[in-house]
Each structure stands twice: as structure tokens, then as C-alpha cells.
């Protein structure tokens, strides 16, 4: 069993894209892999196939049904807000202890690699008292930190990394998912982050339709999740 939490510096950075890419890359290697997206906000059930939950189910080659949706994402909210706010809009609250128990049971039952994808960034509130960081720390599993290459990402990445490591979370790798209109070459951003985080491997995921480059990037990233 190998459980890894996929978190990010913020929302819409590419957690699901990275998680789905890793699932496909590991499956291509003949390895057993599964994923959970326990909490999701902004879910439009009429567009489930393009939702984070739908994308992960398709990466695992599982049918999209009410049962598989519920099994992958038990806490689902309609409003595209932080989970605490989205839950409040529906007069609901995320039970943090129940969330942790759900994840721990999945970890214990997992065969091979299990990815647990978070929601939003590492410091997004889940309820009145807990953030995603509290969730990761409670599970006591390592994390992948997904970041972009937009202007400001260096500060955001190093801040998120500091928050994770301050709680004892082992960061297996930083994944730079190339942003549209990056202000500088990705290699330059990698180099700068690397100077301040020399112990953490950094992998860049390129934009575009170059399948060879994408396969190479995800192949490199697979080595950090073993």
C-alpha cells in the first residue's frame, strides 16, 4: 500500500490533471492504482464527465454511475466555493472525523498506490476549524504539491511547502503544471524554487499536445510516488 495526498498552491492549478495523468502512467506500467476525491465543490451533476470526479473515474476506466460517484466523492457540493462555504449553502457541515475515518479505511484497503486528491489549495477551510492541511497531517501520508508557473507562483509554492513541512508532511515532489502565458521559461522557475527547496524533487508538466513530452514528464513523476 502506498498512499499519497495530492494538494496544490490554490484552486484550478491542475491537481486533477496531474492525478489523472499519474493514474494512466502507472496503469500503463502494469501497476495497481486507485484514487479518491473525497470532497468536491462546484459539482454540476449534468456535467459530471468533465468534473474532477468524472475525470478520475475515466482515468481508472471505471463507469460513471451514481454509485461510483458517491464512492469516489462522498462529500459533494454544488457551489464553486471553499468547502466550508459550499456546505453552508446547503445547510451541511463536513464532519472532519468522518472524513479522516473514510480516508483511513480506503488507505488500509488499497491495493497498490492510492491517490487522495484534496480540494482547492493546502490551506482551504473544510469547516470552522480545519483546513486541507489538517486533513493531510491527520492522515500522516506524504504529499505531492502541484503549482503553476504564473507570475507569483514562486512565493505561493514556497509558502505552501513551508506550511506542509511545518506540520511534518513529507513532500515527495513539487509538480509545476505549466500555466498559460508563463512569464519566464519553466526551467527558470524550477531553478529558483529549487534553490530554496533543494531537498524536494521538481517535475514540470508541459502544456500543449506533445504526447511524448507529457509521457516523459509523467514517467519521471511516477518515480517520485513509488
The alpha carbon of residue 176 and the mean position of all alpha carbons in its chain are separated, in whole angstroms, by 12
DSSP string for residues in 109-147: H--SEEEEE-SSSTT-BSSSS-BHHHHHHHHT--EEEEE
CA 103 remoteness from chain centre: 14
DSSP symbol at 48 = G
Are 158 and 195 spatial neighbours (Cβ–Cβ below 8 Å)? Answer: no
Is 105 known to be catalytic?
no
Q: How far is CA 139 from its chain centroid?
A: 15
Catalytic residue among 15, 37, 172, 224: 37
Burial class from Cβ neighbours inside 10 Å (0-12, 13-18, 19+) for residue 87 reads buried
Q: How many CB atoms lie within 10 A of CB 159?
A: 14
Catalytic residues: 37
Amino acid at each position: 500500500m502506498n498512499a499519497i495526498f495530492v494538494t496544490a498552491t490554490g484552486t484550478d492549478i491542475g491537481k486533477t490533471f496531474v492525478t489523472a495523468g499519474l493514474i494512466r502512467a502507472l496503469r500503463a506500467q502494469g501497476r495497481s492504482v486507485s484514487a479518491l476525491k473525497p470532497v468536491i465543490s462546484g459539482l454540476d451533476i449534468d456535467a459530471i464527465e468533465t468534473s474532477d470526479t468524472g475525470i478520475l473515474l475515466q482515468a481508472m476506466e471505471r463507469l460513471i454511475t451514481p454509485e461510483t460517484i458517491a464512492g469516489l466523492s462522498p462529500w459533494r457540493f454544488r457551489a464553486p466555493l471553499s468547502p466550508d462555504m459550499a456546505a453552508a449553502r446547503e445547510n451541511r457541515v463536513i464532519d472532519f472525523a468522518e472524513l479522516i475515518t473514510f480516508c483511513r479505511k480506503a488507505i488500509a484497503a488499497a491495493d497498490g498506490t492510492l491517490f487522495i486528491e484534496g480540494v482547492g489549495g493546502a490551506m482551504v477551510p473544510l469547516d470552522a476549524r480545519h483546513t486541507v492541511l489538517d486533513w493531510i497531517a491527520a492522515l500522516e501520508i506524504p504529499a505531492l504539491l502541484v503549482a503553476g508557473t504564473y507570475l507569483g507562483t514562486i512565493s505561493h509554492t514556497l509558502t505552501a511547502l513551508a506550511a506542509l513541512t511545518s506540520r511534518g508532511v513529507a513532500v515527495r515532489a513539487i509538480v509545476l503544471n505549466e500555466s498559460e502565458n508563463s512569464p519566464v521559461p519553466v526551467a527558470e522557475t524550477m531553478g529558483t524554487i529549487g534553490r530554496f527547496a533543494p531537498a524536494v524533487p521538481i517535475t514540470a508538466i508541459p502544456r500543449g499536445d506533445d504526447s511524448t513530452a507529457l509521457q516523459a514528464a509523467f514517467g519521471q513523476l511516477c518515480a517520485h510516488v513509488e
